[in-house]
Amino acid sequence: MKRIIFIGLLVLLGLIVWGASYYFVPLEKEVENVSSEKAGIYAEKVYLKGRNEGNLSWEVSADKLNIDLLYKHFVFEGDVKGKVYRDKNLSLLITTKKAEIDRDKNILKIPTELYFETEDGFKGIAPEGIWYFDSGIFMSTKGRVKFEKVGEFKAEADMFRFDTNKGKAEFEGNVVIETYY
Protein backbone atom coordinates (compact mmCIF):
# COMPACT_ATOMS: atom_id res chain seq x y z
CA MET A 1 0.00 0.00 0.00
CA LYS A 2 2.88 2.33 0.81
CA ARG A 3 4.23 1.69 -2.66
CA ILE A 4 0.95 2.64 -4.32
CA ILE A 5 0.75 5.86 -2.27
CA PHE A 6 4.39 6.64 -3.07
CA ILE A 7 3.83 6.03 -6.84
CA GLY A 8 0.64 8.12 -6.72
CA LEU A 9 2.53 11.00 -5.07
CA LEU A 10 5.27 10.73 -7.71
CA VAL A 11 2.69 10.82 -10.52
CA LEU A 12 0.93 13.78 -8.88
CA LEU A 13 4.24 15.61 -8.41
CA GLY A 14 5.16 14.84 -12.04
CA LEU A 15 1.85 16.26 -13.26
CA ILE A 16 2.32 19.42 -11.17
CA VAL A 17 5.87 19.93 -12.53
CA TRP A 18 4.70 19.25 -16.08
CA GLY A 19 1.81 21.75 -15.70
CA ALA A 20 4.09 24.39 -14.17
CA SER A 21 6.57 23.99 -17.01
CA TYR A 22 4.01 25.61 -19.33
CA TYR A 23 4.63 28.94 -17.59
CA PHE A 24 8.41 28.66 -17.69
CA VAL A 25 8.91 27.07 -21.12
CA PRO A 26 6.20 28.16 -23.58
CA LEU A 27 5.31 25.67 -26.26
CA GLU A 28 6.28 26.47 -29.85
CA LYS A 29 3.18 27.07 -31.87
CA GLU A 30 3.18 25.79 -35.42
CA VAL A 31 1.62 28.27 -37.83
CA GLU A 32 0.81 27.16 -41.35
CA ASN A 33 0.11 29.19 -44.47
CA VAL A 34 1.06 32.57 -43.04
CA SER A 35 1.60 35.14 -45.77
CA SER A 36 3.76 38.21 -45.42
CA GLU A 37 2.01 39.88 -48.37
CA LYS A 38 0.03 43.07 -47.95
CA ALA A 39 -3.70 42.78 -47.49
CA GLY A 40 -5.75 42.97 -50.64
CA ILE A 41 -7.56 40.95 -53.25
CA TYR A 42 -5.76 38.31 -55.30
CA ALA A 43 -7.20 36.44 -58.26
CA GLU A 44 -6.10 34.19 -61.09
CA LYS A 45 -7.42 34.02 -64.66
CA VAL A 46 -9.33 37.30 -64.48
CA TYR A 47 -11.41 39.26 -66.97
CA LEU A 48 -12.55 42.83 -66.30
CA LYS A 49 -14.48 45.23 -68.50
CA GLY A 50 -15.63 48.83 -68.27
CA ARG A 51 -18.53 50.66 -69.80
CA ASN A 52 -19.10 54.27 -70.77
CA GLU A 53 -22.69 55.42 -71.34
CA GLY A 54 -23.77 51.78 -71.57
CA ASN A 55 -21.25 50.88 -74.27
CA LEU A 56 -18.26 48.59 -73.76
CA SER A 57 -15.27 50.92 -73.31
CA TRP A 58 -12.40 48.59 -72.37
CA GLU A 59 -11.50 45.01 -71.42
CA VAL A 60 -8.51 43.53 -69.59
CA SER A 61 -7.70 39.84 -69.06
CA ALA A 62 -4.70 38.45 -67.15
CA ASP A 63 -3.30 35.35 -65.48
CA LYS A 64 -3.02 37.12 -62.10
CA LEU A 65 -4.53 40.22 -60.52
CA ASN A 66 -3.64 41.95 -57.23
CA ILE A 67 -5.82 44.79 -55.94
CA ASP A 68 -5.26 46.88 -52.82
CA LEU A 69 -8.03 47.10 -50.23
CA LEU A 70 -9.05 50.61 -51.32
CA TYR A 71 -9.47 49.51 -54.97
CA LYS A 72 -7.00 52.20 -56.05
CA HIS A 73 -4.12 50.11 -57.45
CA PHE A 74 -4.56 47.07 -59.70
CA VAL A 75 -1.59 44.95 -60.88
CA PHE A 76 -2.15 42.53 -63.76
CA GLU A 77 0.53 39.89 -64.47
CA GLY A 78 1.13 36.96 -66.76
CA ASP A 79 -0.55 36.91 -70.16
CA VAL A 80 -2.14 40.39 -70.09
CA LYS A 81 -4.44 41.52 -72.91
CA GLY A 82 -6.10 44.92 -73.02
CA LYS A 83 -8.68 46.19 -75.49
CA VAL A 84 -9.99 49.72 -75.95
CA TYR A 85 -13.20 50.37 -77.90
CA ARG A 86 -14.38 53.42 -79.83
CA ASP A 87 -17.90 53.57 -81.25
CA LYS A 88 -18.44 49.91 -80.29
CA ASN A 89 -15.44 48.85 -82.43
CA LEU A 90 -12.02 47.67 -81.29
CA SER A 91 -9.71 50.72 -81.38
CA LEU A 92 -6.55 49.43 -79.65
CA LEU A 93 -5.34 45.98 -78.65
CA ILE A 94 -2.38 45.64 -76.25
CA THR A 95 -0.59 42.43 -75.19
CA THR A 96 2.07 42.44 -72.45
CA LYS A 97 3.32 40.64 -69.31
CA LYS A 98 2.46 43.30 -66.69
CA ALA A 99 0.08 46.25 -66.43
CA GLU A 100 -0.91 48.51 -63.53
CA ILE A 101 -3.99 50.65 -63.07
CA ASP A 102 -3.64 53.67 -60.78
CA ARG A 103 -7.14 55.02 -60.13
CA ASP A 104 -5.82 58.10 -58.29
CA LYS A 105 -3.92 59.16 -61.42
CA ASN A 106 -6.54 57.62 -63.74
CA ILE A 107 -3.93 55.79 -65.84
CA LEU A 108 -2.99 52.35 -67.08
CA LYS A 109 0.78 51.92 -66.92
CA ILE A 110 2.58 49.15 -68.80
CA PRO A 111 6.16 48.92 -67.49
CA THR A 112 7.17 45.95 -69.68
CA GLU A 113 7.50 45.38 -73.41
CA LEU A 114 4.16 45.45 -75.15
CA TYR A 115 2.69 44.60 -78.51
CA PHE A 116 -0.08 46.75 -79.94
CA GLU A 117 -2.50 46.89 -82.86
CA THR A 118 -4.69 49.83 -83.81
CA GLU A 119 -8.00 49.82 -85.65
CA ASP A 120 -6.44 51.39 -88.74
CA GLY A 121 -3.83 48.69 -89.29
CA PHE A 122 -0.82 49.78 -87.23
CA LYS A 123 1.03 46.96 -85.44
CA GLY A 124 4.01 47.48 -83.24
CA ILE A 125 6.31 46.77 -80.32
CA ALA A 126 7.13 49.30 -77.60
CA PRO A 127 9.38 49.03 -74.53
CA GLU A 128 6.63 50.46 -72.26
CA GLY A 129 3.43 52.47 -72.43
CA ILE A 130 0.81 54.47 -70.58
CA TRP A 131 -2.89 55.03 -71.29
CA TYR A 132 -4.64 58.09 -69.87
CA PHE A 133 -8.27 57.16 -69.18
CA ASP A 134 -9.63 60.72 -69.21
CA SER A 135 -8.23 61.73 -72.60
CA GLY A 136 -8.10 58.30 -74.26
CA ILE A 137 -4.44 58.86 -75.18
CA PHE A 138 -2.02 55.92 -75.31
CA MET A 139 1.70 56.81 -75.37
CA SER A 140 5.10 55.15 -75.42
CA THR A 141 7.98 57.57 -74.87
CA LYS A 142 10.84 55.61 -73.29
CA GLY A 143 12.90 53.76 -75.87
CA ARG A 144 12.51 52.80 -79.47
CA VAL A 145 9.03 52.01 -80.77
CA LYS A 146 8.85 49.77 -83.84
CA PHE A 147 5.66 49.77 -85.86
CA GLU A 148 4.23 49.09 -89.26
CA LYS A 149 1.14 49.74 -91.28
CA VAL A 150 0.60 46.33 -92.81
CA GLY A 151 1.22 46.42 -96.55
CA GLU A 152 2.30 50.09 -96.57
CA PHE A 153 5.40 50.77 -94.45
CA LYS A 154 7.62 49.86 -91.50
CA ALA A 155 8.98 52.50 -89.17
CA GLU A 156 10.76 53.25 -85.89
CA ALA A 157 10.48 56.29 -83.64
CA ASP A 158 11.33 57.46 -80.13
CA MET A 159 7.70 58.30 -79.31
CA PHE A 160 4.33 56.82 -80.26
CA ARG A 161 1.04 58.51 -79.41
CA PHE A 162 -2.40 57.12 -80.25
CA ASP A 163 -5.69 58.92 -79.58
CA THR A 164 -8.23 56.13 -79.02
CA ASN A 165 -11.11 58.62 -79.33
CA LYS A 166 -10.09 59.88 -82.78
CA GLY A 167 -8.22 56.82 -84.05
CA LYS A 168 -5.21 59.04 -84.82
CA ALA A 169 -1.58 57.92 -84.42
CA GLU A 170 1.46 60.22 -84.18
CA PHE A 171 5.17 59.36 -84.24
CA GLU A 172 8.04 61.65 -83.24
CA GLY A 173 11.78 61.63 -82.65
CA ASN A 174 14.31 60.03 -84.99
CA VAL A 175 11.58 58.59 -87.20
CA VAL A 176 12.88 56.09 -89.76
CA ILE A 177 10.40 54.88 -92.39
CA GLU A 178 10.73 52.09 -94.94
CA THR A 179 7.99 52.20 -97.57
CA TYR A 180 6.74 49.44 -99.89
CA TYR A 181 6.32 50.11 -103.63
pTM: 0.70
In a domain, 78, yes or no: yes
In a domain, 157, yes or no: yes
In a domain, 23, yes or no: no
In a domain, 114, yes or no: yes
Residue 99: give its domain's CATH number: 2.60.450.10
* pLDDT tens, position by position, 37-95: 566 889 999 998 888 888 888 899 999 999 998 889 999 999 999 898 888 888 889 99
In a domain, 63, yes or no: yes
CB atoms within 10 A of CB 136: 17
Strand partners, 147: 124, 155
Residue whose C-alpha is closest to residue 46's, from 80, 93, 69: 80
In a domain, 138, yes or no: yes
In a domain, 162, yes or no: yes
The CA-based angle 172-178-181, given to 5 degrees, is 135
The pLDDT value given to residue 111 = 95
Instruction: Specify the DSSP element, H or E, that contains 8.
Output: helix 2-24
In a domain, 84, yes or no: yes
pLDDT of 34 higher than 60: no
pLDDT of 22 higher than 80: no
Range of the domain at 137: 40-179
CB atoms within 10 A of CB 78: 15
The pLDDT value given to residue 6 = 64
Residue whose C-alpha is closest to residue 44's, from 70, 94, 71, 79: 79
Indicate the SS3 state at residue 158: coil
Instruction: Specify the DSSP element, H or E, that contains 22.
Output: helix 2-24
How many structural domains are present in the chain?
1
The pLDDT value given to residue 21 = 60
